[in-house]
Chain A
Amino acid sequence: MNQQELDNRLSQIKNKPFGSELRAELLTTIERKSDKRIFLLCEAENAYAVNKFLFEDIGARFCTVTGIDSDKCFELLYHYSYDPTGCVITVKTFIRNRQAPAIESITPFLPAAEWIEREIHDILGIDFRNHPNLKRLILADDWPVGVYPLRKDVKK
């Protein structure tokens, strides 16, 4: 599929249903920065479906996840590369609940995401639901439970 067809398929998921678990507004916006850089903005509850669509239907290659503590919410950026055209697609997800941030884990269908989700759980305190092995990964053994070092309200 060339870049044009990829664009078309991405814009389809914004408007059209796919699969059984589809909601009306799966994506909030598609931001097209250039031919090779596309951002798909969505809310946390839709992230699982969007990721599954990108990985299984489009066949994009999963790169990594970035976690950001924004001012009013947490952002998770799932980065994918669509290698036939060299296009980098980023799913930008907003987790609005700051008190108990949680999102559906993508590890059940994408095992490569296991460690990065564990890392984000360690340092940002985001709960990945249905993650098979959500143990501490990178923090020290004696690090206090419930302190998430890369949150903005934590002081050293």
Chain B
Amino acid sequence: MNWKIWSLKKSPWVFHVNAGACNNCDIEIVDLLTPKFDVERFGVKLVGSPRHADALLVTGVGTRQAAKRVQEAYRQTPKPCVVFAIGACACGTGIFNSGYHVVGPIDKIIKEIDPNAIIAYVPGCPPKPEAMISGIVKALSAL
């Protein structure tokens, strides 16, 4: 394991990207970051810029307007990085599948600019914070 992967797994700092979510997943992410769930025991910390982040927590279906911004956030994230698609919409567009504004899901948007991106999926509407912790731990142990 090279030191970049080691440091990513040791303490994945996360940046939260909303790509057209209804705010439900976002609230659960805020829940996840509270002391009750204490994700800092895994080194997970919310940062204010993708340039400081090791992982992107992407919520929402990936709208036409948001897709370019998600790609830009991904471009600015130092590699290697992990993209977490949080929620049913981000994983597979969910109920908004045939909406006129939808270009998602998130994996499609990210793979347009980086076919080898590491993407982890946390389904649910919204996923519980426990599910997100489980997803983060699984993704990091798979690296």
Give the interface of A toward B (CB within 8 A). 139-143, 149-150, 154, 156
Contacts and interface: CB of A to CB of B under 8 A. Distances in A.
A149 B64 contact: no
A140 B64 contact: yes
Given A141-B65, A154-B100, 6 more contacts: A139-B101, A140-B63, A140-B64, A142-B64, A143-B64, A149-B100
B64 A156 contact: no
Identify the interface centre among B63, B64, B100: most chain A CB within 10 Å of its CB: B100
A141 B101 CA distance: 11
Chain B interface size range: under 10
B59 to A, nearest CB: 18
Interface string B122-137: 0000000000000000
A141 B100 CA distance: 14
Contacts of A150: 100
B98 A156 contact: yes
Contacts of B63: 140
A141 B65 CA distance: 7
Contacts of B98: 156
B34 to A, nearest CB: 32
A142 B64 CA distance: 8
A142 B98 CA distance: 19
Nearest to A139: B101
A143 B63 CA distance: 12
Contacts of B100: 149-150, 154, 156
A149 to B, nearest CB: 4
Contacts of A140: 63-65, 101
